[in-house]
A and B are shown apart, each in its own frame.
Chain A
Amino acid sequence: MKKFGMTRRKFLAGAAVGSASLVASSYMSFDAWAATDTVAEDVKVTPTLCDACGNWCAINVYTKGGRIWKATGNPIAGLNKGKVCVKGHAMLHDVYNKDRIKTPLKRVGANRFEPITWEQAYREIGSKLKDIIARDGVQSVFLVQYPEGNEDLTNRFMNALGSNNVFSHASTCFLPRNIGWWLTTGAPKPEQDLENSRHVVFIGRNPAAGLQLRMLVDMAKAKDKGAKYVVVDPRFSEMAAIGHQWIQIKPGTDLALLLALANVMIKENIYQKDFIEKYSVGFDEWASKIDYYTPKWASEKTTIPEKVIVKLAHDMAEAAPSSIIHRGYHGAMGTQYKNSLQLVRAAGCINGLLGSYNQKGGMFNAPKVKLGKLAPEKYPGVPELDMPMSDGSGDPDKYPITPVGLGITQAIPELALAGKLKAGFVYHNNPLRTCPNPARMIEGYRKLDLLVSFDYVLSETASLAHYILPESYYLERDDVVHTNHCYTSKQVAIRQAVIKPLYDTKPMVQILTELAPHCGVGEYFGFTLEEYNRAALAPLNISLEKMKKEGVIDLGGEWKPGEPKFSTPSGKLEIASSILQDLNLPAVPVWEEPLVSPNSKDPYEFRLIHGKQAHLTHARSINQKYLKEITTLNDIARVWIHPERAKALGIKDGECMTISSSVGKGRARAKVTEGIHRDCVFLPSGYGVFAKNLEKAFGFGTSYNDFLPTYFDPVLGHVMANEIIVRVEKTQS
């Protein structure tokens, strides 16, 4: 054996090298390897909150030798119950991404930036902003953000200026969902006791990819106890993979299904009569209209066999009251269809027929923590503003029930083009990529006299900004105390820096307090984040030190099943909504057609639908190499198409398709699968980054927004994201 070793070494190291010296050197090298490997590096753990998506899960982040290493979930956290998702793990690495913005930047040309000091940035932004306000009035200033955590302070900044033009992602995400539940139950986001539910119907909700970790933990447990999950979706979603039944539905027609379910329950008298009598209004009105919506009728609309509809109604009723239709989020019940609002209303009413409110395994309102506020004597409060937003939110004549402070974000470019908006701040949001019709978005945002972005990379929107004030990465900053983790009990949580900022960046709160004086509103920001957080925690008797040590603190106050309560105008579950009645809209849920429908005779025409993938957050995280690798390795950026439709177009699995709509054109490779309704094609929504500075992501895949015209839903103003007709062809090479 030794002899052979030497024979080979001869070829390698040359005969000149003696075996003795080789052996000696080999031992040295073994030790060298061992040294890098086994010497215990100092490992530190910091509890904080993830910011890789809007869930803000509580995580414990480990550093090794001062470098971010890994994360585990905080087991008591109501939102994630000890879990960390794929993005939560991968986005840890992004703190070291070389695409990060390292200093404040000023744009000096198309996609050309110059580093400037914070002082210069504040000064120039302050003086430009003051000029614009003097010239065009303060309502020409807006903020658009993904409102969470620091929203109290960003809103404070805007209100201090005197503008209530605070926009969010609402009109591209959840607007009808929140308004629908609010109209029906009085709460925009009722929770569901999934751990104890026996039968849950998901209508266009896919928590297995549009992740919510707590839901998954609860469902996994309930599944072991025999809970049944029915997934209604045009495609076989990840939720369908772990559900018990997949009901394939023609997209945009869920409302018909729900009306027919109500029809069966009411006709067959299998609804919870006591509940309806005691806790609801408008049942009779609805019952009188429900006759029309027979399973047969719905079967034609939805392409679901009549039998399946009837059986579903029976199954749901049988498991009542631990039986629910899930609250929904973005898919179907979110901002996707013209009839989404009615759909949510119908779901709320059916959960009434099931008597599930405030029942074990039903829907409930999570207990709320009341945080303290800065003492007004010391820190003046901002003026209350009571007026509609520039986009018509809160305007009785335009979008009366669209809340002020959420806004209709795709209206910003329209308002800018009309000269109504002149200056904007963009915080933790990327409207250019996440709103419809990017060409129009760019055109509008270009019109602005001042655009300030607080991004950490040069996103599509940041690339267009005049100034970029880089916020420190979430692993490098402290944020305000928040209460998002409340679920069945009350919890407070905090984000804190795990490592010092690597570059010349600052936490948002510090940026605001430093910028405010230059904008003439310094008096409202004379505090530090620490003071703010201490004030928030004061009534809870928790010191900031303890808060930071624990990351999440459970305050008890557990939700218990009991008497249902509704904070609607009538104090009851409003099957007939008084608010909708006053607006001359259908008071009880009735059928409404989707805005558009593909021509079923045209082999090229499809509806384009989209959805999340577990490893991607909107279109922002495909720039992360660990996450992008998951896409490329598994080849999952492809567009789903039904085998028969694909065949008719001569498209084979993996081949390139050209997709076009009235506003856009793009290409994608086909995933030919039985797992999708033949009326639509499905595009995963995490792709299509066109920000040149995001090296990994740029130009990879396409986005549904590229095909979506700028729409405004007539009632709420949302984007109606799935009302897209596309033409699909095999790409001619």
Chain B
Amino acid sequence: MPESAWGWLIVVYLFLAGSGSGAFLAAVYCDLLAPDWSKSLARAGSLVSGPLVTIGTICLVLDLEAGLWEPWRQIYLAKNLSSMIAWGVIILSGFIPVALLYAAALNEITFVGKIARKYIRIIEYVGSALAVATATYTGVLIAVVNGVPFWNTPVMPVLFLASAISTGLAAAMIVAAIIDASTIKTLSNFALGHVIFLAIEALVLMLLVFMSLTRSTEAAISANMLISGVLSPYFWVLVVLLGILIPFILSIVEYYEYGEMPKSLVIGSDLLVLMGGMSLRALIIFSASPPQII
């Protein structure tokens, strides 16, 4: 019997769609609440969001086997609305143009951007809704799969949303630090965002794993794979230690140091968050364990 049907392309897709929508939310947040001192972060977030989600979507398309070589088949992709992929298609086809438009608008790129600039608030509200939908949807996509009991829990979308925001924030912060080095100081304000969302992520992850241990035999198999089985080194090192704990501590330090932390450490911490987000998705996909049927 085939083991897991989905591989790295789907992992990357889940990750990029999540971090892309997270970046969008971060950008909107900055633009709405702290427009003067967080401009560069808003700009960075808006600039990465669209491309990330787009690349993620390319990964999804690349993973389609018939739909890649005979792309017209993709016409059917949103035919069955009880499928989360169909919803994903609808949400993404709304979100990608809006995210790209937002980047254009916020950064006043081309005449399109200039025109869109006038409607920036509408774009931000609509886009935020779509971004939350995208981030949540990536979790729902796998949460509705009763073929994998470990995934089949409402906690999953919450986890994916929290992780999307952390990774989106991280992506935006890295780009902000690159395009505008002077921004480091102001960035430390957002380290608090990391602290909060990493904490939420850690809590939800704990909840997922510990509930799975008792939820069903198969969910427990998956959970055990993560905490003590073949995948445990990756889980503890890549996700828990490097992906959550260290960035969590660094973010606290960063927040209190108020811009005194070296740039490399700031960027390093954000890179770790991204790496952790990616590893988290990979491990969730690869720890899938089907119901025991005989």
Residue numbers of A with Cβ under 8 A of B are 1-5, 7-9, 11-13, 22-23, 25-26, 29
Is A29 within 8 A of B54, CB to CB? no
Q: Beyond the given A1-B77, A5-B74, please list 4 additional residue pairs across the A-B interface where CB-CB is below 8 A.
A: A2-B75, A23-B75, A25-B72, A26-B72
Is B75 within 8 A of A5, CB to CB? yes
For chain B, residues 25 to 77, give those with C-beta under 8 angstroms from any C-beta of chain A: 54, 57-58, 61, 68, 70-75, 77
Is B96 within 8 A of A1, CB to CB? no
Which residue in B58, B68, B77, B97 is a CB contact (below 8 Å) of A5? B77
Tell me whether A12 and B77 are in contact in the complex, defined as CB-CB below 8 angstroms, given that A4-B90, A7-B93 are known contacts.
no
Q: In the complex, how many angstroms separate the beta carbon of B283 from the nearest chain A beta carbon?
A: 25
With a cutoff of 8 Å between Cβ atoms, the chain B residues found around residue A4 in the complex are 74, 77-78, 89-90, 92-93
A465 to B278, CA, bound (A): 61
Is B93 within 8 A of A26, CB to CB? no
Is A22 within 8 A of B72, CB to CB? yes
With a cutoff of 8 Å between Cβ atoms, the chain B residues found around residue A13 in the complex are 71
Most buried by B among A1, A8, A13: A8
A393 to B92, CA, bound (A): 83
Is A1 within 8 A of B72, CB to CB? no
Q: In the complex, how many angstroms separate the beta carbon of B130 from the nearest chain A beta carbon?
A: 13
> Residue on B with the closest CB to A26?
B72
Is B71 within 8 A of A1, CB to CB? no
Is A3 within 8 A of B93, CB to CB? yes
Q: In the complex, how many angstroms separate the beta carbon of A430 from the nearest chain B beta carbon?
A: 35
Is A11 within 8 A of B70, CB to CB? no
Is A8 within 8 A of B72, CB to CB? no
Is A29 within 8 A of B61, CB to CB? no
Q: List 20 A-B contacts (CB under 8 A).
A: A4-B78, A4-B89, A4-B90, A4-B92, A7-B97, A8-B57, A8-B61, A8-B71, A8-B74, A11-B54, A11-B57, A11-B58, A13-B71, A22-B71, A22-B72, A23-B72, A25-B72, A26-B70, A26-B72, A29-B72
With a cutoff of 8 Å between Cβ atoms, the chain B residues found around residue A11 in the complex are 54, 57-58, 61
Is A9 within 8 A of B74, CB to CB? yes
With a cutoff of 8 Å between Cβ atoms, the chain A residues found around residue B79 in the complex are 1
With a cutoff of 8 Å between Cβ atoms, the chain B residues found around residue A1 in the complex are 75, 77-79, 89-90, 93
Residue numbers of B with Cβ under 8 A of A are 54, 57-58, 61, 68, 70-75, 77-79, 89-90, 92-93, 96-97
> Residue on A with the closest CB to B58?
A11
Q: In the complex, how many angstroms separate the beta carbon of B198 from the nearest chain A beta carbon?
A: 33
With a cutoff of 8 Å between Cβ atoms, the chain A residues found around residue B58 in the complex are 11
Q: In the complex, how many angstroms separate the beta carbon of B175 from the nearest chain A beta carbon?
A: 22
Q: In the complex, how many angstroms separate the beta carbon of B86 from the nearest chain A beta carbon?
A: 8
> Residue on B with the closest CB to A17?
B71
- Give the 10 A-B residue pairs with the shortest CB-CB distance, closest first: A4-B93, A26-B72, A1-B78, A5-B75, A5-B74, A12-B71, A11-B58, A4-B89, A8-B61, A7-B93
A268 to B261, CA, bound (A): 97
With a cutoff of 8 Å between Cβ atoms, the chain B residues found around residue A9 in the complex are 71, 74
A25 to B74, CA, bound (A): 14
A601 to B235, CA, bound (A): 47
Q: In the complex, how many angstroms separate the beta carbon of A212 from the nearest chain B beta carbon?
A: 28
With a cutoff of 8 Å between Cβ atoms, the chain B residues found around residue A5 in the complex are 72, 74-75, 77
Most buried by A among B58, B75, B90: B75
Q: In the complex, how many angstroms separate the beta carbon of A19 from the nearest chain B beta carbon?
A: 9
With a cutoff of 8 Å between Cβ atoms, the chain A residues found around residue B96 in the complex are 7
With a cutoff of 8 Å between Cβ atoms, the chain B residues found around residue A26 in the complex are 70, 72-73, 75
A23 to B93, CA, bound (A): 19
A23 to B75, CA, bound (A): 9
Q: In the complex, how many angstroms separate the beta carbon of B77 from the nearest chain A beta carbon?
A: 7
Q: In the complex, how many angstroms separate the beta carbon of B70 from the nearest chain A beta carbon?
A: 6
Q: In the complex, how many angstroms separate the beta carbon of A241 from the nearest chain B beta carbon?
A: 14
With a cutoff of 8 Å between Cβ atoms, the chain A residues found around residue B68 in the complex are 12
Is A12 within 8 A of B75, CB to CB? no
> Residue on B with the closest CB to A24?
B72
Q: In the complex, how many angstroms separate the beta carbon of A629 from the nearest chain B beta carbon?
A: 14
> Residue on A with the closest CB to B75?
A5
A11 to B74, CA, bound (A): 13
Is B70 within 8 A of A12, CB to CB? no
> Residue on B with the closest CB to A23?
B72
A12 to B66, CA, bound (A): 13
A23 to B73, CA, bound (A): 10
Most buried by B among A3, A4, A9, A29: A4
Q: In the complex, how many angstroms separate the beta carbon of B58 from the nearest chain A beta carbon?
A: 5
A29 to B70, CA, bound (A): 9
> Residue on A with the closest CB to B89?
A4
With a cutoff of 8 Å between Cβ atoms, the chain A residues found around residue B70 in the complex are 26, 29
Q: In the complex, how many angstroms separate the beta carbon of A635 from the nearest chain B beta carbon?
A: 14
A12 to B75, CA, bound (A): 14
A532 to B227, CA, bound (A): 75
> Residue on A with the closest CB to B88?
A4
A7 to B89, CA, bound (A): 10
With a cutoff of 8 Å between Cβ atoms, the chain B residues found around residue A23 in the complex are 72, 75
Q: In the complex, how many angstroms separate the beta carbon of B137 from the nearest chain A beta carbon?
A: 14
A34 to B96, CA, bound (A): 35
> Residue on B with the closest CB to A22?
B72
> Residue on A with the closest CB to B97?
A7
A3 to B79, CA, bound (A): 13
With a cutoff of 8 Å between Cβ atoms, the chain A residues found around residue B77 in the complex are 1, 4-5
> Residue on B with the closest CB to A29?
B70
With a cutoff of 8 Å between Cβ atoms, the chain B residues found around residue A22 in the complex are 71-72
A2 to B61, CA, bound (A): 15
A11 to B55, CA, bound (A): 9
Q: In the complex, how many angstroms separate the beta carbon of A56 from the nearest chain B beta carbon?
A: 35
With a cutoff of 8 Å between Cβ atoms, the chain A residues found around residue B89 in the complex are 1, 4
With a cutoff of 8 Å between Cβ atoms, the chain A residues found around residue B61 in the complex are 8, 11-12
A198 to B74, CA, bound (A): 61
Q: In the complex, how many angstroms separate the beta carbon of B278 from the nearest chain A beta carbon?
A: 21
Q: In the complex, how many angstroms separate the beta carbon of B35 from the nearest chain A beta carbon?
A: 31
With a cutoff of 8 Å between Cβ atoms, the chain A residues found around residue B57 in the complex are 7-8, 11
A25 to B71, CA, bound (A): 11
Q: In the complex, how many angstroms separate the beta carbon of B61 from the nearest chain A beta carbon?
A: 5
> Residue on A with the closest CB to B91?
A4
Q: In the complex, how many angstroms separate the beta carbon of B134 from the nearest chain A beta carbon?
A: 13
Q: In the complex, how many angstroms separate the beta carbon of B155 from the nearest chain A beta carbon?
A: 29
With a cutoff of 8 Å between Cβ atoms, the chain B residues found around residue A8 in the complex are 57, 61, 71, 74
A9 to B92, CA, bound (A): 14
With a cutoff of 8 Å between Cβ atoms, the chain B residues found around residue A2 in the complex are 75
Most buried by B among A2, A5, A22: A5
A1 to B79, CA, bound (A): 8
> Residue on B with the closest CB to A4?
B93
With a cutoff of 8 Å between Cβ atoms, the chain B residues found around residue A7 in the complex are 57, 93, 96-97
Q: In the complex, how many angstroms separate the beta carbon of A16 from the nearest chain B beta carbon?
A: 14
